[in-house]
Amino acid sequence: MNRTRGTRRKLWQALRIGSAAFAAGFALCAVAPDLAFAQDIAPIEAAAPETPAAPAAEEAAAAITAPEATVDKGDVTWMMVSTVLVLVMIVPGLALFYSGLVRTKNALSVLMQVGTVTVIGMILYALVGYSLSFTTGPTAFLDQFIGGTARLFLIDGADGSDLSDNLVATFSTGIYLPELVFIVFQMTFACITAALVLGGLAERVKFIGVVLFAILWPLLVYYPMAHMVWWWPGPDLVATGTPAIGGFIWNFGALDFAGGTVVHINSGIAALMGAIVLGRRSSYKKEPIPPHSLMMTLIGSGLLWFGWFGFNAGSNLESNYYSVLAMANTFLAPAAAGFSWLMVEWLTKGKASLLGLCSGIVAGLVAVTPAAGFAGPMGAIVLGLVVSPICVFACSALKNLLGYDDSLDVFGIHGVGGIVGALGTGLVVNPAWGGAGVVDYINCHEAGAVLATCPVAAYDLLTQVTAQAKGVLVTLVWSGAGSLAIWTVLRILGLLRVSKDVEQEGLDLAAHGEAAYHP
């Protein structure tokens, strides 16, 4: 009993520390001097929806004519294909990748957990997730952090109709998509982010804990993160000078093409918090815990890489040069990272491993995600070469030093690799270094009309890298505090960790009554 009380006291202490860290980080970012957006988008930050625009601003906006909304069938087709590709990343890609890394007695449980989080994630996103991620918040202040109720249950809150006639902006002026294809595309991102977290808790987490996590974590952590990073007025509103508000991290000017902060740092820090609260596996550092099937892991890696083309190139929301650039970078960065990981192993251990190759490929995919449409091909190769040695250190020396049991190195690869990619994006976007630069929507007009092709904004290294660092900091604080709170509550309620007997027997039979393999 005393030991139980002591554990609970420690958990409550951790919860209080996490809350204090969240408050401190939020205050730091709130009081930090505002940075110019990459497109010098200051007018968007300054105006609140309920504040009447100044007469001069109204006249300026009225003087610029927005283009007619156009939907291209090729764009729509590409987004449908990309959505299915991201699904392949999760089931079976991530499921097989993770399952191969655990022991035989837990192989089926990992498949089950990834699949369950995915189906729950889809339902929850349709009910409330999209509305909370990609609609205007209840107030001007809250709109920086969370959406509102305008799309609950995928119904247009303005008139109660379905979404058959609704369009959403892309990243080109005048080009739009049917809203529903954007919804299902973003839905797959919410699913894979939650599923990634599970690798940090593999082989000792209760199934009920996984189910509750799949419901609570997106509501408290993922949907706000997606809103903070990706909610913005759209190119036409910015180009016409219409006052509007973007997400908290978007307003920093932080760049995240496909989810370096939203997906990878977010899931990595959540997995780390879960691993710490859950505690080590009973056999950790006491006996070898080798992957039971590296062949399955390689198949999973290949499916992840295959699906990642939809993940990265699809995030452009159109089928044009930027999606081609993202595709090229999705080839090159993981190739460079896989090679780099092998070289590190070869030089330090004398042998290169298949596990290292798979890990390096994923690390490269993670690092290039935020930079996919911003980096030039050579910049993507540099990101890949750089990220692997850092992730090797995080998955070995750092992990051993701090003593946590992140079962499948979610933090070491997705968390740390995501940080490298997010910060590196601020460098490789530089046009002078072969990057694509950042579109200048503010000045995307001429003679009273919005241009079809916008100019590239001036690049400032210090401003952009500082914006990236602020985005990383907010992600670490928000996800760390929110995830710690969820894991701590579940642990206190006894809903998180299996008993030692169940862990010894294996979760396949004990939790699901099935086995991955039969004699």
Give me the pLDDT at residue 13, please: 55
Give me the pLDDT at residue 243, please: 81
Tell me the DSSP string of 48-71.
-TTSPPPHHHHHHHHHSBPPPPEE
Question: Roughly how many angstroms between the first and final C-alpha of the chain, as a whole number?
Answer: 43
Query: What is the b/e burial string over 243-266, where b = at least 16 CB atoms within 10 angstroms of the residue's CB?
Result: bbbbbbbbbbbbbbbbbbbbbbbb
Residue 48 falls inside a structural domain: no
**Interatomic CA distance for residues 344 and 11, integer angstroms:** 38
Residue 4 falls inside a structural domain: no
Tell me which residue has tokens 């379905």: 162
Angle between helices 354-368 and 294-313 (to 10 degrees): 10
| Chunked mean pLDDT (size 10), the chain, 519 residues | 47 51 46 35 34 44 82 98 98 98 98 98 98 96 96 94 95 97 98 98 98 98 98 94 90 97 98 97 94 98 98 98 98 98 97 98 98 98 98 97 97 98 98 97 93 95 98 98 98 97 96 93
State whether residue 175 is helix, strand or coil: strand
Identity of residue 86:
V
**Interatomic CA distance for residues 501 and 499, integer angstroms:** 5
State whether residue 446 is helix, strand or coil: strand
Give me the pLDDT at residue 9, please: 54
Residue 21 falls inside a structural domain: no
Of 340, 368, 365, 338, residue with least CA distance to 354: 338
Q: Taking phi first (over 0 means left), then psi (-120 to 50 degrees means alpha), and beta for anything else, what does residue 447 get?
A: left
Domain count, the chain: 1
Residue 504 falls inside a structural domain: yes
- The neighbouring-strand residues paired with 168 are 177
**Helix (H), strand (E), coil (C) string for 142-161:** HHHCCCCCCCHHHCCCCCCC
Cis omega (within 30 of 0) on the bond before 92? yes
For the question of whether the overall pTM of this predicted structure is more than 0.95, the answer is no
Token pair belonging to 167: 């369009």
Q: Which domain holds residue 178?
A: 62-512
Of 422, 413, 443, 442, residue with least CA distance to 374: 422
Please write down the long-range contacts of 498-506, taking CB distance under 8 Å and 24 or more positions apart: 498/204, 498/205, 498/206, 500/282, 503/203, 503/204, 503/281, 503/282, 504/282, 505/105, 506/103, 506/104, 506/105, 506/106, 506/109
Residue 181, H or E segment: helix 179-197
Domain at 440, CATH number = 1.10.3430.10
Give me the pLDDT at residue 16, please: 54
Q: Do residues 342 and 388 lie in contact, with contact meaning Cβ atoms separated by under 8 Å?
A: no
Residue 254 falls inside a structural domain: yes
Tell me the DSSP string of 384-436.
HHHHHHHHHHIIIIIHHHHT---TT-HIIIIIHHHHHHHHHHHHHT-GGGT--
